Structure 1
Amino acid sequence: MAADHPPVSPPAKPSVEQPVPALPENLTQILSRAVGTGQEEVISFLCNPQVWPHAPASVEILETHMSLVFFAGDRVYKIKRAIQLKHMDMRSLAARQHFCRREVELNRLLAADVYLGCASVTRAPDGTLAIDGEGEAIEPLVVMRRLDTSQGLDQRILQDRVSAAEIDRLCALLSNFYARQPPADISGEEFLAIWHEIVGRVRTSLTDPRFALEKHLVDPPITLLTHFLETHEQMLLDLVDHGRIVDGHGDLKPEHIVMGDKLLVIDRLEFDDRLRMADPFAEITFLGLECERLGAPWIGPRLIDGLAQRLGRRPPDELLRFYRCYQACLRARLSIEHRLDPSPRTPDRWPRQTRDYLMRALPSAQP
């Protein structure tokens, strides 16, 4: 893949021998989980500060479910993990190239000066690896400007440094984004089929006997979701008919919102276009739920009120209740399914997190 990010001047050649840089402390664990993917060599290569054109002092690596993120000085580089999940296959180079390009394309709408473009790890004929060097492109990279993580909405909430005025600014930004998005190219029948499919996945996972989740936590929200789909199909069809389902963000978490003088929203979901097709109030409900988990329950209602005022509509309470219940159950499902990973990270975390989400779904599931 040809580079499409601003060029970086190579560092000056050192006049004395440089010390061998320290590698990230978590590299061994990450490499153990990468065995069999074919990415082990690339991961080790990218962890060496000396290979980067802009010569960072050190490199840190963060592992997520979908990606490996390398923090190198004032830049961030991201590779897609060569994995296959139920509804996504990143094992081929072509797929990873496609989704790197797609991530940059989608996120430039809300954070143009953060997503700088794409680059590649290349292999020269003699086997030498380089970043955007000569030879074959063997691994695509998303290139980003490094942001101040202390300005993330999640960190600001934990530090009790979020004001109502800042949330109103965020609401205005999101409202403008949603208002500019064209209606999703989907029929009412297709939209209903998606809801039945994704609620069915939630039901199957949360009732899987391998997870042994308590019935008193699982049954009430699953009953609410199932009953809503059986009795409120027309309400969902009306959303499509009135053009209220748009191409949204897809993963609107507090850590994907950067506060400060210029508000930024990053990490718009790229790997499944259908997962971005949403009522803006469904995405805002999820953001409010995550803010509540961090200790700011006041943010969700304020966002809903602000969005309703700016978009000129407010969904019925039963629809908002359905959205919250579904979002909590979805996150419970995604949490507990980490138990099925061959080498799950922090395995003790997932059952606790699953039960926390289900407890938050329960108030929405009461008659």
Structure 2
Amino acid sequence: MPHPPSRPEQTSSPTLEAKVAFLGRPGAYPEAPARVEAVETHMSWVFLTDTHAYKLKKPVRYDYLDFSTVEARRLDCEQEVRLNRRLAADVYLGVIPLVLDAGGCLSVGGPGEAVDWLVQMRRLPAQRMLDHLIRNGTVKPAEISLLARRLARFYAAAAADAITPEAYRQHLAKRIKANLRELTSAEFGLDKDVPERLARFQLGFLETHTGLFDSRVRQGRIVEGHGDLRPEHVCLLPEPVVIDCLEFNREYRILDPADELGYLALECERLHAPEVGRWLLESYTEASGDVPPAALLHFYQSWRAVLRATLAIWHLRDDGRHPHKKWVETTMEYLELAQRHAAAAAS
């Protein structure tokens, strides 16, 4: 089916504020929901109806992505649907145009010019999301085993990336250095000592344990994964689904499953449920036969914690929408986790 024409980004196009206001109304949707809940994220607005979720990308541009045009957002929406169907085939329903008709009225689908694009998803039960289950203390080992087996099949089916051992280590070093630049920037006013010590450790570990990383590459373990495997993206249905992969930059999805699973275990630990992470890693090893060395897992968890610290401190740039104290405390919490796992990797 051909797409309706996308309008170039012009001052005469509806503003983001106008689009958000329209999509916040129940009458905007063909299913005529009783109410709509709007949730703002760093790069999107998500509109939750009784049965569906609709994601609208913000017209933002950063070093690592460019959503500044309608066409760029359409392409990213299509990429998001394609990639997320790998682990949530029945959740991602498709891409729908946000249309401006001849009378100047917006509609979801229908005739007219596409002034933006929406990812349409089936709404998942909030009470079955892993972060909710952890907070309620109701996660069962059998459910995590099902998740681990699902992820083991996903990684086993993925083609090994053509990256060389040296390029893989350089990729990790590049991201470690990028985290250091952000966390020691005068813009944020953080104490530089902890980020600098962590970066020295992580870069030193890459140099002194090249064999650990090189063997993972030579075993074909480096694949195109999910990229953002966190408890809030996992829904423990009878067949577990994982949503909201990192779709906008393939480089960030090229990874070691031990890195990605260690990341999910780290986030469970942060939610005071380290046992969930242990169940996950043990079940993955049993299902896959992959036994990543403990020191390597702790290294990955250390660098992921620093990455999460960086993402947390970036919230201070969001036009004052988020309380300064909250994000500084979150940053320090992740840096503490990073130090804990660095110590474990070194022991």
TM-score after normalising by structure 1: 0.87
Unaligned runs of 5+ in 1: 5-35
Mapped to 2, the partners of 1:193 and 1:220 lie a distance apart of: 19
| 1:172 aligns to 2:172 (yes or no) | no
**2:304 aligned to 301, 304, 327, which one?**
327
C-alpha distance 102-59 of structure 1, shift in aligned 2 (>3 A): same
- Matched position secondary structure for 2:237: coil
In the other structure, the counterpart of 1:226 is: 203
* 1:49 partnered with 2:60: no
Take 2:327 and 2:264, find their aligned partners in 1: how far apart are those partners? 20
Task: Give the match for residue 20 of structure 1.
Answer: none
Which residues in structure 2 correspond to 1:298-317 (within 5 Å)? 298-317=275-294
For residue 171 of structure 2, what is the aligned residue in structure 1?
194
Deviation at 1:54, TM superposition (A): 1.4
Q: Which amino acid aligns with 2:295?
A: E
Structure 2 counterpart of 1:131:
108
In the other structure, the counterpart of 1:95 is 72
AA aligned to 1:292 is E
Q: What is the SS of the residue equivalent to 2:186?
A: coil
**C-alpha distance after superposition, 1:281-327 (max 9, x if no partner):** 10111101111111211122222222222222312222112101101
The residue number in structure 2 matching 1:27 is: none
CA distance in structure 1 between the partners assigned to 2:201 and 2:341 by the alignment: 8
Cα contact 1:171–1:307 (8 A) shared by 2: yes
- Which has the higher mean CA deviation after the structures are superposed, 318-327 or 212-221? 212-221
Query: Hey, what's the Cα distance between the residues in 1 that align with 2:338 and 2:175?
Result: 16
Selected match of 1:281 from 258, 262, 268: 258
2:233 counterpart residue number:
256
Unaligned 5+ runs, structure 2: 5-12
State the alpha-carbon separation in 2 of the partners of residues 108 and 172 from structure 1: 17
CA drift of 1:41 comes to: 1.7
Equivalent-residue separation in structure 2 for 1:300 and 1:54 (angstroms): 39
Q: Secondary structure in 1 aligned to 2:46?
A: strand
- Alignment equivalent of 2:39, drawn from 56, 62, 67: 62
Q: Check if 1:346 corresponds to 2:315.
A: no
Is 1:184 the counterpart of 2:161? The answer is yes
- Counterpart in the other structure of 1:121: 98
Task: Output the CA distance in 2 between the equivalents of 1:145 and 1:200.
Answer: 39
**1:3/1:131 CA distance change after superposition, 3 Å:** farther
Q: Out of 198, 205, 214, which is 1:237 matched to?
A: 214
Deviates further, 333-342 or 155-164: 333-342
- Deviates further, 279-288 or 227-236: 227-236
- Aligned match of 1:151 in 110, 128, 135? 128
Distance 2:62 2:140 in 1: 39
Structure 1 residue 72: deviation in Å?
1.8
Q: Give deviations 1:327-352, integer Å, cap 9, x for gaps.
A: 11110111112223334433331100
- Alpha-carbon contact 1:224-1:322 (below 8 Å) kept: no
**In structure 1, what residue type is equivalent to 2:257?**
P
Q: Percent identity?
A: 38
- How many residue pairs match? The answer is 336
Contact 1:37/1:82 (CA < 8 Å) preserved in 2? no
Q: Secondary structure at the match of 1:111?
A: coil
Secondary structure of 1:117's counterpart equals strand
Distance (Å, rounded) in 2 between the aligned partners of 1:364 and 1:57: 47
> What's the CA shift string for 1:176-197, capped at 9, x where partnerless?
1111111123233332321121
Pick which of 103-112 and 201-210 moved more: 201-210
Choose the corresponding residue for 2:182, options 181, 205, 208: 205
Contact map agreement 1:37 1:91 (CA 8 A) in 2: no
Runs of at least 4 residues of structure 1 off by over 6 A? none
Give the whole-Å Cα distance in 2 for the aligned partners of 1:108 and 1:261: 17
Question: Deviation per CA, 1:3-42, whole angstroms, max 9, x where unpaired?
Answer: 79xxxxxxxxxxxxxxxxxxxxxxxxxxxxxxx9932221
For 2:309 and 2:299, locate their aligned partners in 1 and report how far apart those are by CA, in whole Å: 15
Residues 148 and 284 in structure 2, CA contact (< 8 A), matched pair in contact too: yes
Distance 1:357 1:37, change over 3 A: farther
